[in-house]
Structure 1
Amino acid sequence: MRAARLIRMALLIQSHPGLTAAALARELEISERTVIRDAQALQEAGVPVRSEKGRVGGYFLAAGYRTRLTTLHPSEAETLFLSGLPAALQDLGLSDAAQTARLKLTATLLPSVRQAAESSVRRFHLDAPAWFREPATPELLPELARAVWADRIVQVSYVRPGRDGAPSSAVTRVVEPYGLVLKAGTWYAVARIPDEREAQDGGWRTYRVDRITALDSVPGAHEPFVRDPAFELGAHWEARSAAFARTLLRTTVTVRLTGRGLRQLPAVVDGAAVADAFASAGAPDPVGWVTLDLPAESEDVAFDQLARLGAEVEVLAPARLRARFRARAEALATLYRADPREAEPEGGEDQR
């Protein structure tokens, strides 16, 4: 929209006097010719924009003039709280509002404060997605975000994955969308089922947004739902995440660890499992080894995790897992017992 672009241009010039046509074109993602036309449009609208040529030239506002366009729209103010998550803002369809909000805020700051704000932006950045995985934006995320902002009841269709080899199933629910969470590049929706508020779990549900296949309005639900005043998204997510992590821990492994192994354990095992394991730990034996019971998702997962600790851990039980580690140790001993130089032909590389 040209009107929004003109506002952003005026704010940019007010916040950063002397921006060239090329710099404005980059910021606004338009051509330099369009910058010139927009500057003329601002002048015709009464905004005293002037251009100066030369080495220190660029676009300026008349001395003493300040635009009155710095009042934040509610959506812009809300997105400032997410301004450290540019990728998330783009996923939510809020990047334009956030950029305009930052410009308005910058235009109202004293020069010294403005420089401090710009300095912090240059030094700190939050990169939420995980390494080695290309994050995908769920198709329905922007519409779901609008429902969250508006406290609008919606009907969602959701694909629930099957367990233990069972096929997935489709579920349709009417929910109150309370919030969105970005966890390691994956979006989750925290919602409440209105008809299940009196249930033991309060009717709270967490949905992976990329598994939501449809999002529809609910007939007759024209008013925003009333949010629970005691609900705090951060605290709710932390509690539910810890509870969910514990539901995955279906196996217990008894191990002995050296002091170094104990220090390294949190780096290879889930936090909930580590907390429970440390709570079960006994006193160190005469040589400093500590025995404890480690919750794990499965024997396969425990094998992969504990193998990273090498000789700092000994698996005592279950017997089948201990046998796997014994076989691994024997295979490694055989591999490293031989001198690789013995496998070279006589004469080595110089033999013709």
Structure 2
Amino acid sequence: MRAARLIRMALLVQSSPGLTAAALGRELEVSERTVIRDAQALQEAGVPIRAERGRAGGYHLAPGHRTRLTTLHPTEAETLYLSGLPAVLRDLGLSDAAGTARLKLSATLLPSLRAAAESSARRFHLDAPAWFREPSAPELLPELARAVWSDRTVELTYTRPAREGGAPGTVTRLLEPYGLVLKAGVWYVVGRVPGGPTGGDDAWRTYRVDRVTALARGTNTGAGPGELFLRDPSFDLAAHWRAHAARFARALLRTTVTVRLTQSGLRRLPAMADPAGAEEARASATAPDAAGRVTLELPVESEEVAFAQLVGLGADAEVLAPASLRARFREHARGVAELYGVQPRDQR
């Protein structure tokens, strides 16, 4: 394990001279002290790595030196081929470039490694779309991907979904497109509106690409679409998306219901309700009563959704509030009892 880490460290320093011990530690998932020890081990092995102080400091290899640690292990070659994700690359308009790159890689590999592409394709397949949904790439996705690659501002026309029974609206936004995300078969573009907030969550916007009806990339001159934008080097697309997804999931939970659960119901709750809401509810649960039941506040999207989720818990869940939802469960219980010829105990 340490040998693999030393190889990674040498390659990191070769490809990104000036990385600090802290930066290398984050990449290698070790402490700064371990980075210093690993650098000494590389020096003892003949790799001319050194740490420099000052503004342009960090770890460097001796001028002109390049490691010879680039020979691929069979598993590494197979993993590299897995990164192709043919369907995704096709949607982005990059399938030809990816195919050429794989051919070039094959030409440089040892004969024993050239079967890596076939080996990995036979064993692993990524099916990104959700069940019961026909996958379809948005028409403007390749053009938007080119803007993301070239760091050029776009003007997009976006259909906003209807809210609270209203009609859908159309908006036009100038956007600096930072990245594209594929989530359960749906593409999203993440970007920043020029002239808007420069920091925090308010600086960023997320749009579903299949709701983009028009896209202008401009002429590459002057302000507006097509203008080159300066990318914020601190922006981390993966970290931003994780935070955005968590906020989005929690924002959907606009209603709270009060529920009394048996211990079995408490254990089963995460499988029946929204995971974010269930976790929050379990944290707020009261101490068990004499019968072992707990009372908690469960965040839900709506009473309709709450009924669909909690009805699966059967007698392990009793809704206490709101009264309208409790009444709905009472009518549901009476209907089930009548269906099976059981006389309900509660005739109220």
- TM-score normalized by structure 2? 0.69
Please tell me whether the aligned partners of residues 257 and 291 of structure 1 are also in contact (alpha carbons under 8 angstroms). yes
Q: Which one of the candidate residues 218, 222, 225 is aligned to 2:229?
A: 225
What displacement does 1:204 show?
A: 0.7
Where do 1:131-142 residues align within 5 Å? Answer: 131-142=131-142
What displacement does 1:84 show?
A: 5.1
1:132 alignment partner AA: F
Q: Are the structure 2 counterparts of residues 121 and 165 from structure 1 closer, same or farther at C-alpha, using a change threshold of 3 Å?
A: same
Higher alpha-carbon deviation: 143-152 or 114-123: 114-123
Q: Specify the alignment match of 1:305 in structure 2.
A: 309
Q: Do structure 1's residue 197 and structure 2's residue 183 form an aligned pair?
A: no
Between the aligned partners of 2:311 and 2:334, the Cα distance in structure 1 is 14
Where do 1:1-352 residues align within 5 Å? Answer: 83=83, 85-115=85-115, 118-198=118-198, 201-218=201-218, 220=222, 224-337=228-341
Please tell me whether the aligned partners of residues 315 and 322 of structure 1 are also in contact (alpha carbons under 8 angstroms). yes
2:325 alignment partner AA: L
Q: Are the structure 2 counterparts of residues 96 and 185 from structure 1 closer, same or farther at C-alpha, using a change threshold of 3 Å?
A: same
What displacement does 1:187 show?
A: 1.0
What displacement does 1:311 show?
A: 2.3
Q: Report Cα offsets for 1:303-338 as digits up to 9, x if no partner.
A: 111112222222111111111111111111111127
Please tell me whether the aligned partners of residues 218 and 227 of structure 2 are also in contact (alpha carbons under 8 angstroms). no
Q: Specify the alignment match of 2:56 in structure 1.
A: none
Q: Are the structure 2 counterparts of residues 157 and 81 from structure 1 closer, same or farther at C-alpha, using a change threshold of 3 Å?
A: farther
Between the aligned partners of 1:116 and 1:325, the Cα distance in structure 2 is 57
What displacement does 1:135 show?
A: 2.0
Q: Report Cα offsets for 1:162-194 as digits up to 9, x if no partner.
A: 311121211111110011111111111111001
2:180 alignment partner AA: L
Between the aligned partners of 2:266 and 2:210, the Cα distance in structure 1 is 38
Q: Report Cα offsets for 1:218-272 as digits up to 9, x if no partner.
A: 4525653111111111111111111122221111011122233223222222222
What displacement does 1:108 show?
A: 2.2
Please tell me whether the aligned partners of residues 195 and 203 of structure 1 are also in contact (alpha carbons under 8 angstroms). no
Between the aligned partners of 2:156 and 2:82, the Cα distance in structure 1 is 25
Between the aligned partners of 1:260 and 1:86, the Cα distance in structure 2 is 44
1:204 alignment partner AA: W
Give me the identity figure in percent: 67
1:337 alignment partner AA: G
SS of the residue corresponding to residue 340 of structure 2 reads helix
Between the aligned partners of 2:262 and 2:99, the Cα distance in structure 1 is 52
Q: Report Cα offsets for 1:95-143 as digits up to 9, x if no partner.
A: 2222222232233223444445643332222211100111222111110
Q: Are the structure 2 counterparts of residues 118 and 82 from structure 1 closer, same or farther at C-alpha, using a change threshold of 3 Å?
A: closer
Q: How many residues align?
A: 259
Higher alpha-carbon deviation: 307-316 or 106-115: 106-115
Please tell me whether the aligned partners of residues 277 and 294 of structure 1 are also in contact (alpha carbons under 8 angstroms). yes
What displacement does 1:153 show?
A: 0.7
Between the aligned partners of 2:133 and 2:149, the Cα distance in structure 1 is 29
SS of the residue corresponding to residue 195 of structure 2 reads helix
Please tell me whether the aligned partners of residues 254 and 318 of structure 1 are also in contact (alpha carbons under 8 angstroms). yes
User: Structure 1 stretches of 5 or more lacking a match?
Assistant: 1-79, 339-352
Between the aligned partners of 1:260 and 1:95, the Cα distance in structure 2 is 50
2:89 alignment partner AA: L
Higher alpha-carbon deviation: 227-236 or 257-266: 257-266
Q: Report Cα offsets for 1:3-37 as digits up to 9, x if no partner.
A: xxxxxxxxxxxxxxxxxxxxxxxxxxxxxxxxxxx
User: Structure 2 stretches of 5 or more lacking a match?
Assistant: 1-79, 343-348
2:193 alignment partner AA: I
Between the aligned partners of 1:336 and 1:153, the Cα distance in structure 2 is 64
Between the aligned partners of 2:272 and 2:295, the Cα distance in structure 1 is 17
Between the aligned partners of 1:143 and 1:81, the Cα distance in structure 2 is 25
Q: CA RMSD in A?
A: 2.2
Higher alpha-carbon deviation: 83-92 or 154-163: 83-92
- TM-score normalized by structure 1? 0.68
Between the aligned partners of 1:81 and 1:243, the Cα distance in structure 2 is 34
Following TM superposition, where does structure 1 have runs of at least 4 consecutive aligned residues deviating by more than 6 angstroms?
none
2:165 alignment partner AA: G
SS of the residue corresponding to residue 137 of structure 2 reads coil
1:185 alignment partner AA: G
Please tell me whether the aligned partners of residues 83 and 89 of structure 1 are also in contact (alpha carbons under 8 angstroms). no
